[in-house]
Amino acid sequence: MSDHQAKVTSIETLDKFQKSTLLFTEEALCIFDSIRCEIQRYQNIINNEIPARINRTLFKWEEILKEAKIELSSARTQSGKVAAEQKIRLAKSKIKLAEEDKQKIRKWQMKLPALLPTPVSILTKGKTFLVNDITKAATALQKYVHILEEYSGQNGQ
């Protein structure tokens, strides 16, 4: 047995501790849920929002490239041709950047499932501990408090 023992001087202290334990459990469960929501939010950003934004950017610059090629073929002046060629170079550059971003996000999408099960499983274990073990301990403590109250009530008479 441990040399350290709790020095409880009143039943009210035990009762207060039991209620604080239940309050802590509720607050911790809320925090676990908040963390889980943040993880899901970032997963949504990586899996949906960023790829959609990249695809919109890619589509926009592909359209600009098509327009610039049409402008180049129909340009009558040297300055018109130069402007269309600049627009083509810019569009190709932006398309290349968008394609690179698309590749980066695909890599993250493949890495993400391997990286996130650990935090999610840790959250699940923490919630399970709180719900099962701490709640059981608080219930047992409440039962002991009632037994002590009954005992002290009978001995006080």
For residue 25, being part of any structural domain is answered with no
Residues 74 and 123 in one domain: no
Average pLDDT for 8-26: 82
CA 6, CA 136: separation in Å to the nearest integer?
19
Average pLDDT for 141-155: 78
Residues 105 and 126 in one domain: no
Higher per-residue pLDDT: 8 or 34: 34
Q: pTM value?
A: 0.64
Residues ≥6 apart with Cβ < 8 Å to 141 = 14, 17, 18, 21
* Cβ 29 vs Cβ 135: under 8 Å: no
For residue 39, being part of any structural domain is answered with no
Average pLDDT for 111-125: 76
For residue 16, being part of any structural domain is answered with no
For residue 76, being part of any structural domain is answered with yes
Residues 56 and 78 in one domain: yes
Residues 110 and 123 in one domain: no
**pLDDT tier at 49, thresholds 50, 70, 90:** very high
State yes or no: pLDDT of 155 exceeds 60: no
141: domain range? Answer: 116-147
Residues 73 and 109 in one domain: yes
Quick one: 102 exposed, middle or buried, by C-beta within 10 A (0-12, 13-18, 19+)?
Answer: middle
Domains identified in the chain, total number: 2
Residues 96 and 53 in one domain: yes
Residues 69 and 128 in one domain: no
State yes or no: pLDDT of 35 exceeds 90: no
Average pLDDT for 23-39: 87
State yes or no: pLDDT of 109 exceeds 50: yes
Q: Pull the structure tokens for residue 43.
A: 């997963």
